[in-house]
């Protein structure tokens, strides 16, 4: 099928395009984080109510992937992608004109649903193009590019708040969505040919989701990543209040701290790719899970003793950075469990687990207001559940079959 534009041939150029699409999630969640206290003040509401706008986005990002993933298996990758980006532009400007927190929450939910198109389809396109270790290397490259968003987004948000107000952040998102729509129209071609698309009805296409849920290794990897990322979103939802209100950092200094953790995500992704090449993805995943729950436990101790900022930040850095290591290895292992024609559905379930669980954990961490302990307990709880799920559904001795065997199954 001929489409507008053509796919770039170099892996880095290709990863840059997909990275921009997959970065829609962190971009739409992180850019306005420094403005959460300002939004709370302007709408005369509570911090928990304001955090519901973050929750709405995360849940939208999760549920939307369950729609766009199967649709991309049936219709191809390109049409659902362009439709999602078009509506995303409208939703972004709706946030700009919101007159109360309820309207903002609704518009943010729509933003999340439509932003999920780029997130889920970018992973499906990667699955179309790469397999095995090449897929791991590509996901690591994608994670590196994707990691730029958490670094830049809060810094840009803090700068915008210095000169403008929180509404202008959504104006920037509206402009960015418009540019991404134009760019995708001319640069993204179809990667799932008609012979490889799901041939059944739309009902049967969505029925693939049920079949994937019954695959023990796949759903185990999905839930493991989902709860680990839920821990990170607990940090995202509470960190602006903890660091700005409890530790009295300015919006700009908070943005720099947040950016440092984003840099950790990039570095960790590249380390995991190198380690996986030598030891294998499953070995790396197991080791990082142990590191994750250990660092989260230390974070709880720091929260209860109300330690200084200089003790909190390095432990928090490790606790958050492990997300990209688990994401890189876990995503590759999960995606190799399914054939290409189910790549969109598999990507959808991965994303749904991550963002829906993240949407639930974010307001939980906010119940403690600016309490460091509340944030730390929520993160540790999410990591502990991930550890238990991995132990029960994957195990510490069971190997993951090679990709060819998985596809035959």
Tell me how many domains the chain contains: 1
Q: Is residue 1 part of a domain?
A: no
pLDDT for res 4: 42
Residue (of 83, 144, 91, 74) closest to 118 by Cα position: 83
Q: Is residue 70 part of a domain?
A: yes
Q: Dump pLDDT digits (tens) for 92-121.
A: 899 989 888 899 999 999 998 998 888 888
CATH of residue 185's domain is: 1.20.1250.20
Q: Is residue 195 part of a domain?
A: no
Residue 53 — very low, low, confident or very high, per pLDDT cuts 50/70/90? confident
Q: Is residue 194 part of a domain?
A: no
Q: Dump pLDDT digits (tens) for 354-380.
A: 777 877 787 777 666 667 888 899 999
Q: Dump pLDDT digits (tens) for 69-97.
A: 888 888 888 889 899 999 999 998 999 89
Q: Is residue 276 part of a domain?
A: yes
Mean pLDDT within 138-147: 65
Highest mean pLDDT of the ranges 29-33, 106-110, 263-267: 106-110
pLDDT for res 6: 46
Q: Is residue 197 part of a domain?
A: no
In the chain, pLDDT over 70 holds for what percent of residues?
A: 81
pLDDT for res 380: 95
Domain hosting 20: range is 11-189+203-408
Q: Is residue 198 part of a domain?
A: no
Mean pLDDT computed over every residue of the chain: 80
pLDDT at 59 over 80: yes
Whether the full predicted model's pTM is greater than 0.85, yes or no, is no
pLDDT for res 402: 44
Q: Is residue 320 part of a domain?
A: yes
Residue 405 — very low, low, confident or very high, per pLDDT cuts 50/70/90? very low
Torsion on CA atoms 116, 118, 121, 122, rounded to nearest 10: -130
């Amino acid at each position: 099928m001929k489409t507008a534009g053509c796919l770039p041939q170099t892996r880095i150029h290709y990863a840059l395009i997909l990275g921009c699409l997959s970065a829609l999630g962190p971009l739409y969640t992180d850019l306005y984080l420094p403005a959460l206290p300002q939004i709370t003040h302007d709408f005369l509401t509570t911090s928990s109510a304001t955090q519901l706008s973050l929750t709405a986005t995360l849940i939208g990002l999760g549920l939307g992937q369950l729609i766009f993933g199967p649709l991309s298996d049936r219709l191809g990758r390109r049409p659902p992608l362009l439709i999602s980006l078009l509506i995303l532009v409208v939703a972004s400007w709706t946030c700009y004109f919101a007159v109360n927190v309820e309207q903002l929450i609704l518009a943010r939910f729509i933003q999340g649903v439509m932003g999920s198109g780029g997130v889920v389809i970018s992973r499906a396109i990667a699955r179309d193009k790469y397999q095995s270790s090449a897929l791991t290397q590509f996901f690591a490259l994608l994670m590196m590019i994707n990691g730029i968003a958490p670094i830049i987004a809060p810094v840009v948000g803090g700068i915008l708040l210095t000169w403008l107000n929180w509404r202008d952040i959504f104006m920037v998102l509206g402009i960015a969505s418009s540019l991404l729509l134009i760019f995708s129209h001319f640069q993204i071609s179809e990667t799932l040919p008609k012979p490889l698309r799901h041939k059944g009805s739309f009902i049967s296409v969505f029925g693939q989701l049920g079949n994937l849920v019954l695959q023990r290794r796949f759903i185990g990897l999905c839930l493991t990543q989902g709860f680990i990322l839920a821990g990170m979103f607990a940090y995202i939802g509470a960190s602006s209040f903890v660091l700005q209100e409890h530790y009295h950092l300015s919006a700009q200094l908070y943005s720099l701290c947040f950016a440092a953790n984003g840099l950790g995500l990039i570095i960790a992704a590249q380390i995991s790719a190198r380690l996986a090449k030598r030891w294998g993805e499953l070995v790396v995943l197991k080791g990082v899970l142990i590191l994750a729950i250990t660092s989260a436990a230390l974070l709880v101790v720091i929260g209860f003793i109300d330690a200084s900022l200089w003790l909190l930040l390095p432990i928090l850095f490790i606790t958050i950075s492990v997300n990209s290591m688990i994401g890189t290895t876990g995503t590759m292992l999960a995606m190799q469990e399914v054939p290409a024609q189910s790549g969109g559905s598999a990507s959808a379930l991965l994303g749904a687990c991550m963002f829906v669980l993240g949407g639930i954990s974010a307001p939980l961490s906010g119940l403690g207001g600016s309490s460091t302990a509340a944030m730390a307990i929520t993160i540790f709880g999410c990591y502990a559940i991930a550890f238990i799920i991995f132990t029960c559904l994957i195990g510490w001795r069971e190997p993951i079959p090679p990709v060819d065997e998985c596809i035959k199954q």
